[in-house]
Amino acid sequence: GAVVSQHPSRVICKSGTSVKIECRSLDFQATTMFWYRQFPKQSLMLMATSNEGSKATYEQGVEKDKFLINHASLTLSTLTVTSAHPEDSSFYICSARGSGRQGATEAFFGQGTRLTVV
Amino acid sequence: DAKTTQPPSMDCAEGRAANLPCNHSTISGNEYVYWYRQIHSQGPQYIIHGLKNNETNEMASLIITEDRKSSTLILPHATLRDTAVYYCIVRVTDSWGKLQFGAGTQVVVTP
């Protein structure tokens, strides 16, 4: 399957600082990428849909000014957590749409980024 | 979008087949059933998907009932590395691959 790479895999930052997470599609072009957040013992929650060359679409309840998404190329999307607070500590996961059989698409996921805000 | 219902957990003996059920009684005719799994502290991994026919690949088999209201993921010979949370997802109707995850089934494979 297609490969999606996230960087960094782990990051610890101080409260009030900003953190950038990168998501790259390594062997295919991804016009659309998705960002998820997962708190301990919970399922993945979709945060936003990132479209190459246009503004991201955020899910209800997700602050777009706090979670900045940039999708400047067909292989890279970034999520910046601005003015991070301890409650932003979570597992952030990106996915990119791959290609499947006609009428279906598969989403391939990065390995996730564990963010800890202290 | 159709919602899914899965048992919260199940145990399986190593080497045996694991049969994971999923109910999706409100599925629409053009919605696919997808299965992903998530090993602890990793991103989800695609397993298989189908519309109405049974499907098989190198990882698993997917059996969808004729009325499409339920499906079963079969891991033919479970190994310890198959311990993970398994998610049954009905794909949203846009074609962009956006997925809504439920609680999934925690599968523990024991020796």
Per-residue pLDDT tens over the stretch B33-49: 999 999 998 999 989 99
Among A residues 80-99, those touching chain B with beta carbons less than 8 Å apart: 91, 93, 95-98
Q: Kindly calculate the radius of gyration of chain B based on its CA atoms and give it in whole angstroms.
A: 13
Identity of the residue in B42, B98, B99 whose CB atom sits nearest the CB atom of A111? B42
CB spacing of B97 vs A97 below 8 angstroms: yes
The residues near B92 (Cβ < 8 Å, ≥ 6 apart) are B1, B98, B99, B100
Q: What angle do CA B44, A42, B16 make, to 5 degrees?
A: 55
Taking 80 as the threshold, does the pLDDT of residue B92 lie above it? Answer: no
pLDDT at B2: 64
Tell me which amino acid residue A15 is: S
pLDDT, chain B, mean: 92
pLDDT average, residue stretch A72-92: 94
